[in-house]
Amino acid sequence: MSRDNSAIDPVELAAAMIRCPSVTPADEGALGVLQAALEGLGFTCHRLPFSEAGTADVDNLYARIGEGSPNFCFAGHTDVVPVGDAEAWAVGPFDAAIKDDTLYGRGAADMKGAIACFAAAAGRLLKARGDDFSGSISLLITGDEEGPAINGTVKMLDWLVERGEILDACLVGEPTNPERLGEMVKIGRRGTITGQLTVRGTQGHIAYPQRADNPIPRLVHTLAALNDETLDEGTDHFQPSNLEVTTIDVGNPAHNVIPSSGRATFNIRFNDQHTGDSLAAWMREVCARHAGDHELDIRIGGEAFLTLPGPLSDAIAAAIEQVTGARPELSTTGGTSDARFIKDHCPVVEFGLAGQTMHQVDERVPVADLHALTDIYAALLDTYFEI
């Protein structure tokens, strides 16, 4: 890749990062590749390893150029999910091979490709503006997005607060487009809460039910009560909240034994009509009415949030339309991302590559999309830092 302080080839940089097998929580050199490219542009880089008892150590990177405001931040992650069956890939999952004008490799779409495009776009702006550039551009890159998200973005944001650094706006480079580049910008995400319910009974012989207490009917009845509740009808920006039961297990290999307990796990993806605490209280109330002797463990994975349509979403939508000719949909669909943490610090939207192959065998992205995404990010920066 270029080291002339002005030009980065996004395809070369993406390929170099893909060749680092950074499966969560390992880094394997991916952050170092990015750091070298950014330092070549003049960025000041900080490596931020974080630890916490019971979790793996994670390395992270914060890079910034400029000292003034506004500070436009690009957030993302260099960690990737496992490759699955490596023999099923058309090319080696970490070879970063280009085949039929398409870059293959784990992380190509999610989301080393977008990180490379942002670095290339930043280099383009710096070359064009030179001394006329008075704001700041930063990158907040974690190695812990695909994992438990404990030693990554949250602790990096705390580190920024301790230093007195402010983010004025942020774009997260997740693969937001369902099929083709430019379709969709995420302006919010639903929250997520998971309940793990254990209903206790008394084990016994099925021929003598009066001597036992079968927990399964109470477990099933409780799940039905939870599932039958209409949580809401959706909003102008969010689809309805939904509860899904993901597993039921009694661990009983015998056909003639009433088990002593039954367990189930369920998850709610919820919109901004709820909070994690309000749904936790509702879950406890339903279980108290129906489950009898039970234990309910609750984990709130993130709150719903919305960045109302405005200057930030207008700027990225205009940049997309400028490059692709089409106006994107502003959406809140899909799962969670680290934007759920960043929204407490500044307005945040998400836009990256198409997500059709993310987490799949043969994850890939057209080379043309990497160049087009660089053009979009460059147009966004140019608009954001208007002279």
Catalytic amino acids? 79, 145
Q: 352 near 338, Cβ under 8 Å? A: no
Which residues in 154-175 are b (16+ Cβ under 10 Å) and which e?
Answer: bbbbebbeeeebebbbbbbbbb
Residue type, 349: V
CA 124 to chain centre: 27
CA–CA distance, 170 with 380 (Å, rounded to integer): 12
CA–CA distance, 140 with 324 (Å, rounded to integer): 27
Nearest to 308 by CA among 247, 373, 236: 236
CA–CA distance, 133 with 368 (Å, rounded to integer): 28
Q: What angle do CA 284, 287, 291 make, to 5 degrees?
A: 150
CA–CA distance, 82 with 95 (Å, rounded to integer): 15
Task: Locate 234 and state its tokens.
Answer: 């959706």
Q: How many angstroms separate the Cα of 337 from the Cα of each of 150, 164, 192?
A: 13, 24, 11
